[in-house]
Structure 1
Amino acid sequence: MHTQNTAILQIDGLHIAHGRLTLSDWSATIAAGVTLVCDEEGECKTDFLRLLAGELSAAAGSLCLSGVVQQVDAQAYGRQVYWIAPATVEYDELTVEAFFALQASRYAGFDQAALAQLIAGLALEPHLFKQIRMLSAGTRRKVWIAAAFASGAALTLLDDPLAALDKSSATFVLSQMAALAQAGQRALVVGDYQAPANVPLTARIDLASQL
């Protein structure tokens, strides 16, 4: 039996000033389930996700993910985080199938059975052998999301996950979020302007109130 709201990420004493993202001696706990990160202008939620991913460095403070401190062992920390910026071109030359294989090699808990269900639920079968650069913005986002849920990563970060998705895909993604929230084993941090429909939230971080 799992424990509800298990602490996954402990944030202690963060100091950062990057663009509009300014935090001073900021501490929080990210628990298992779904946490919403929002700000009124939508200008710094992405940088906040990049901070949690270890892409942005804080001037002070620490991030401790399942016992691994990012500032001490960035590689071990990164192996527990799934984060892909929606507009990245890093994987453009890979086929979708090769991208999934790469992600499976990165995450010890990658679930191939879950991936198969996600590919079906997001209608990605016709695109498996296409290069990612050939895909529409919505289909690219579906590829990132399918890998996110299949990754098994302790901390999964999604930025505007429903943007550019068709209605049936958006509904499917929301159902996956709700299932993850109920499982209580992983932390999903969603950057968005509003709460995802019918998804129970563990917490909400309003960045506007921190600025």
Structure 2
Amino acid sequence: MTTFPLGRPAAPALDISGLRVSYRALTALEDVDLSIGWNRVCGLIGTNGSGKSTLFKAIMGLAKPQAGTIRVAGLPAAKARRQSLIAYVPQSEEVDWTFPLSVRDVVMMGRYGSQNWLRSPRRADHAAVAEALERVGMAAFSDRQIGQLSGGQRKRVFVARAIAQNASVLLLDEPFTGVDKTSEAMIVDLLRDLAAAGRSILVSTHDLSSLPALCDEAALINRRIMLHGTPQEVLRPENLALAFGANPLAPRGTIPAALAS
């Protein structure tokens, strides 16, 4: 875990206020306010196009906000990124799986922020990578080219990269898409362990059934945060209707048609 000079900051792990992101004439996010504390896993749910991935990209500096602020551990997001306080696990579609990198190479990328400009791994870097791969059950695949792995194995490798980075805030964009049940269960357990150890985690998912076991809280997004509360509160059909357009009078437990596919 990242050690702060004066201990864990009093500021929230992630604090977003008035965020707006537009792509030319399209407004992807508008007036987004979201604050997440430490030792928490927050689920981010919404339809495709609701702004989930754009929110992650704005935090990571991959999308430029037109308004608003993003602070991580009390620091501006750009400074937090330079200090490697944030780790990002992207969607599978955003990764070039044909690139000739081994599993070990991918996880070692998480150590770049603590290396010199030549990126020469030290003993501590190799130890951190080996430990991270062991934690996700991928040590035996260290020399395998990343594209040769299954969907679940690939996700576990990227979670290992985040662990090796030793970041305080983890962002995971749809980590359970195309993942087998064994890998999904392992990732859920890992995220719970990481949160218990002091980290803060924001994870987007379409798997609503996993929210109560995975998350301490959940945020419903449709260009802005419509609701932020416990998973049980957010999963009420009348609340899901805010983002998914389901019939708010449908019987309790009904899954919105937008999620049926």
- Normalised by the size of structure 1, how large is the TM-score? 0.79
User: How many residues get paired?
Assistant: 204
Cα-to-partner distance string for 1:129-175 (whole Å, 9 max, x where unaligned): 12223333332222101222342212211112122222222211111
Q: Which amino acid in structure 2 is aligned with residue 29 of structure 1? A: S
The letter for the 2-side match of 1:52 is I
Question: In 2, distance between residues paired with 1:112 and 1:30?
Answer: 32
Secondary structure of 2:194 counterpart: helix
Q: 1:67 — aligned with what?
A: 74
- Report what 1:124 is aligned to: 138
The reply on whether 1:104 has 2:111 as its aligned counterpart is yes
Shift in Å, 1:23: 1.2
- Measured in 2, the distance between the counterparts of 1:80 and 1:139 equals 25
- Closer, same or farther in 2 for the Cα pair 1:107/1:187, shift >3 Å? farther
Cα distance in 2, alignment partners of residues 154 and 91 from structure 1: 30
2:233 corresponds to:
none
Which structure has more relative contact order (CA 8 Å, sep 6+)? It is 1
Q: Quote the residue 2:14 is aligned against.
A: 9
- Give the CA RMSD over aligned residues: 3.2
In the TM superposition, residue 37 of structure 1 has moved relative to its aligned partner by 0.7
Alpha-carbon shift at residue 63 of structure 1 (Å): 0.9
Query: 1:66-96 deviations in whole A, cap 9, x for unaligned?
Result: 232136x47526x221114233128822211
- Structure 1 residue 59, shift from structure 2 partner: 0.2
Which of structure 1's runs of 4+ aligned residues deviate more than 4 A?
Answer: 110-118
Separation in 2, partners of 1:67, 1:6: 5
Measure the CA separation in 1 of the matches of 2:184 and 2:125: 21
Question: What SS class does the counterpart of residue 162 from structure 2 fall into?
Answer: helix
- In the TM superposition, what is the alpha-carbon distance from 1:188 to its structure 2 partner? 0.6
Partners of 2:16 and 2:69 within 8 A in 1: yes
* Residue segments in structure 1 that go unaligned for 5+ positions in a row: none
Aligned to 2:252: none
Q: Which residue of 2 aligns with 1:145?
A: 159
Question: For the residues of structure 2 that align with 1:61 and 1:120, how far apart are their CA atoms?
Answer: 40
Work out the CA distance in 1 between the residues paired with 2:186 and 2:103: 19
Residue 39 in structure 1 maps to residue 53 in structure 2 = no
Native 8 Å contact 2:43 2:215 kept in 1: no
* TM-score normalised by length of structure 2: 0.65
Instruction: Identify the residue that residue 4 of structure 2 maps to in structure 1.
Output: none
Q: Which runs of 5+ in 2 are unaligned?
A: 1-6, 116-123, 225-242, 244-261
Contact 1:45 1:191 in 2 (8 A): yes
In the alignment, structure 1 residue 188 sits paired with structure 2 residue 201:
yes
Kindly provide the amino acid, as one letter, of the partner of residue 164 in structure 1.
G
